[in-house]
Amino acid sequence: MAYFLFRRTLGFVLTLLAVSVVVFAVMNVLPGDPALTILGMDASDDALAALREQLGLNAPLVTRYFSWVWNALQGEFGLSHSFRVPVSELISERLPMTISLAVAGMLVTLVLALGLGITAAAQHGRAGDWGVMFLSQLGIAVPAFWLSILLVMLFAVKLRWLPPGGFAGWDDPVAALRSLILPTVALALVQSAVLARVTRSSALEVMRLDFVRTARASGLSRRRVLWRHVLPNALVPIVTIVGMQFAALVTGTIVIENVFYLPGLGRLIFQSISNRDLPTVQALVMLFAAIVVTANFVVDLLYVVIDPRLKARA
């Protein structure tokens, strides 16, 4: 068991390192001259030289990489060119927003997807099953940002129940929640489509197994068999998919923040792109990629916790 943990953690760390190398390489090797990018074509050679010195661009690449990693581990991401404040400050300001959206989105997704998936499996071959299959096929094809626009047009423009975007701040919790409803719904609807299908097929596979028949023969109600016996066993492959979904969650959060003008990390990335603020972009991309890798790692561990058979093998 300890050996298993060690190997997994090692893999996790290595992947993170590899990701950091890729991010650093793309952001620093490809551009050519970041100083030129920042100051523009008309800048004087002296200004460019000065900036290069200031940014530490004259140091060898490898050194720059290690100092970046070292600083990053301490929460130091350098200075933002456009905002003139430490990047870490920008991040910590906007992190709560992004996390709230992501967590809310994930929770709603799970509830929706698991509920619909299991129900579809229970209704296999009947109207409910076809309905869920159709809706999920649609959900996969509908872009999150279009769905968001449609939701806004219905609930904000036509009905005026909810705000069309923006965020007033956390001081007024009710207003804050109202601003989060549509974004969360849009995020969840699209994500749950894939998860619902996976849940359904996993549940169908499990329902064919012998122990389900045993449970039924013990006089347990169909509902109890479904939720207490089928679902927990169906979760095992679902957990893997949820892990893979984190990449989609990250993408979705970034997109949704931009659709609804929410002041989170997703918006920050795009502002930084427009401002050619490379350090910020670099830090944020690394952060998001790290989140995806970490999520996959946690899922790997969770897997072993859920299934006692794997624990024995570990």
> Hey, which residues between 256 and 295 contact other proteins (CB under 8 A)?
258-259, 269-270, 272-273, 276-278, 281-282, 285, 288-289, 292-293
When the beta carbons of 13 and 172 are compared against other proteins, the nearer one is: 13
Minimum distance from residue 145 beta carbon to other proteins (Å): 5
Does 149 help bind other proteins (rule: CB under 8 A)?
A: yes
- Angle, to 10 degrees, between the axis of helix 265-274 and the axis of helix 278-306? 150
User: CB-wise, 125 or 169, nearer to other proteins?
Assistant: 125
Binding part of the chain for other proteins, among 44-52, 66-74, 82-90, 228-236 by CB under 8 A, reads 228-236
Q: What are the DSSP calls for 260-309, one per residue?
A: TT--SHHHHHHHHHHTT-HHHHHHHHHHHHHHHHHHHHHHHHHHHHH-HH
Distance, in Å, from the CA atom of 278 to the CA atom of 227, rounded to the nearest integer, reads: 49
Q: Restricting to residues 170-209, which ones interact with other proteins according to CB under 8 A?
A: 209
Examine residue 166 and tell whether it contacts other proteins (CB under 8 A).
Answer: no
Residues 123-142 that bind other proteins (CB under 8 A): 137-138, 140-142
Instruction: Give me the residue label for tokens 């624990």.
Output: 311
DSSP structure class, residue 154: I
Please give the structure tokens belonging to residue 4: 């298993």
Interface stretch with other proteins, choices 68-76, 84-92, 113-121, 211-219 (CB under 8 A): 211-219
Question: What torsion, rounded to 10 degrees, do the Cα atoms 46, 49, 52, 54 define?
Answer: -60
Sorted by sequence, the CB contacts under 8 Å of residue 296 that are 6+ apart come out as: 243, 244, 246
C-beta of 95 vs 142, nearer to other proteins: 142
Nearer to other proteins by Cβ, of 169 and 218: the residue is 218
Q: Binding to other proteins by residue 164, rule CB under 8 A?
A: yes
Cα separation, 182 vs 156, in Å, equals: 9
User: Quick check: 219 binds other proteins (CB under 8 A)?
Assistant: yes
Among 215, 238, 268, 283, contact with other proteins (rule: CB under 8 A):
215
The half-sphere exposure of 191 on its side-chain side, counting CA atoms within 13 A, is 33
Q: Tell which positions 31-60 bind other proteins, by CB under 8 A.
A: 31, 37
Site for other proteins in 81-110 (CB under 8 A): none
d(CA 192, CA 110): 7
What is the C-alpha to C-alpha distance for residues 255 and 199, in angstroms, rounded to an integer? Answer: 25
Q: How many residues bind other proteins (CB under 8 A)?
A: 71
Rule CB under 8 A: is residue 213 a binding residue for other proteins? yes
Q: How far is the CB of 217 from other proteins (least distance, A)?
A: 5
